[in-house]
Copies of this chain bind each other. A is one copy, B any other.
Amino acid sequence: MNFYTISQLSQEFDISTRTIRYYEERGLIVPIRTESGQRLYTKKDRAVLKLILRGKRFGFSLEEIHEMISLFDKDRTGRKQLEKTIEYGEQKLKEVKERIDDWLQLKHEMETILEDFKTRLEELEGSE
């Protein structure tokens, strides 16, 4: 297995090292350490980082992201655990669907307004 240093990840994802350490502060990533204390990140850590950044783009808070990650990261071997995860996932999925509907409606309204404006512009240009 090979590792990434903090600056390698920081460059790859175009974020500061402070940001990466901050995610660790909040318990989202936990890299291993060399004897001297330097952080080393595994492929999995890198994947988690990717997830965090993606979650951020969707507007989720670090706390929400943490919740999701830790839930999907726990061992879901037990039936109870699996059921809980599915329940949580379905709740989140519902929220996502609602979000999509909201966005679709917004899109529709914007299109309507734009059409209206374009019509007006044409009228203006026709009367010149």
Contact = CB atoms under 8 A, between A and B. Distances in A.
A39 B113 CA distance: 31
Looking at chain A, what size class is its interface with the partner chain?
20 to 34
Contacts of A32: none
Query: What number of copies of this chain does the assembly contain?
Result: 2
B59 A117 contact: no
A43 interface: no
Contact of A106 (B86, B96, B107, B120): B96
Contacts of A26: none
Contacts of A103: 58, 96, 99-100, 103
Contacts of A104: 100
Given A82-B117, A83-B121, A100-B104, 9 more contacts: A79-B124, A82-B120, A86-B118, A89-B110, A92-B110, A93-B110, A96-B107, A96-B110, A100-B100
